[in-house]
Amino acid sequence: MSNTRDGLIWAFRELKKSGILYSFSGNGSIKINENRYWITPSGFRKNCLERDDILLIDRNGNVIIGNNKPSIEWENHLFIYDKDKKVRVILHTHFSRYQEINETELEILNKRLSENSGFKFCVIPEIKTYYEKLKDEIKERSLCDSVLIIKDHGYFSLSDSVFKAVNLIEEIDFLLRSQVIIKKS
Ligand SMILES: [Zn+2]
C-alpha cells in the first residue's frame, strides 16, 4: 500500500479490523514534503473515510485541499516529522482497553519488547510530558519504525511507509494485549 490518501484510508480500515480503532478516535498523516501533509479530518469515523475527507495541510495547519477541519493533533504530527526526516507516515490511535495498565506493567512490557522484538518503542508516562520526553528520545536515536506508547492516551506509530506503520501498531498492540491477559490470568 502506497503513501497516498488511499493508503491512509486502507490503514484505518486495517486498524479497525484489528480492534485497535474505536468510535471517532485516532488520526493519521502522510508527509509529502516539508510543507505539505495529508492528514485525517477531526471528528470522523476513521474506518469510514473517503478520499475527499482527507485534507492537505501546510506546515502551519492551513488547509490547502479539503473542506473539513484537520485533526486537532496535527501539531504533534509535525513535531515528529520535523524531528526525524525519515518518518513519512504517522498513525495514532487512542487506547480503548488499556487504561488500567500501570507503571509496573509498562516496565515489564518495555523489557519484553526490548528482549523479544526487533521494534523500537518508547513509553511516555503521560501526554503532558510528550514533547519533553520526545526531545530526550530523539537525542538518542531515530524515531522511524518505532511506536510511542503514551500512557492513558494511545499509540503513535512512526514509519516511512503506511504498510509498516500499520504492522508496527498491530504488533505492539498484540504484545500489550498479551500482557493484560497474563495479568488477569
Ligand atoms: Zn491523541
Domain count across the chain: 1
**Residue 61: pLDDT over 80:** yes
Q: What's the 128 CA to ligand 1 centre distance in angstroms?
A: 11
* Cβ within 8 Å of residue 27, ≥6 positions away: 39, 40, 42, 46, 71, 73, 77, 92
Q: What's the whole-number average pLDDT of the chain?
A: 84
Q: What's the 90 CA to ligand 1 centre distance in angstroms?
A: 12
Provide the CATH number for the domain around residue 21.
3.40.225.10
Range of the domain at 120: 5-184
**Which grid coordinates are listed for 108?**
515489564
Q: What is the pTM of this model?
A: 0.86
Q: What's the 117 CA to ligand 1 centre distance in angstroms?
A: 25
Instruction: Give buried/exposed letters for 141-175 (b at 16+ CB in 10 A, else e).
Output: eebbbbbbbbbebbbbbbbbbbbbbbbbbbbbbeb
Residues 1-15 have a mean pLDDT of 94
16-53 pLDDT, tens digit each: 999 888 878 899 999 999 999 999 999 999 999 999 99
Element (H, E) at 40: none
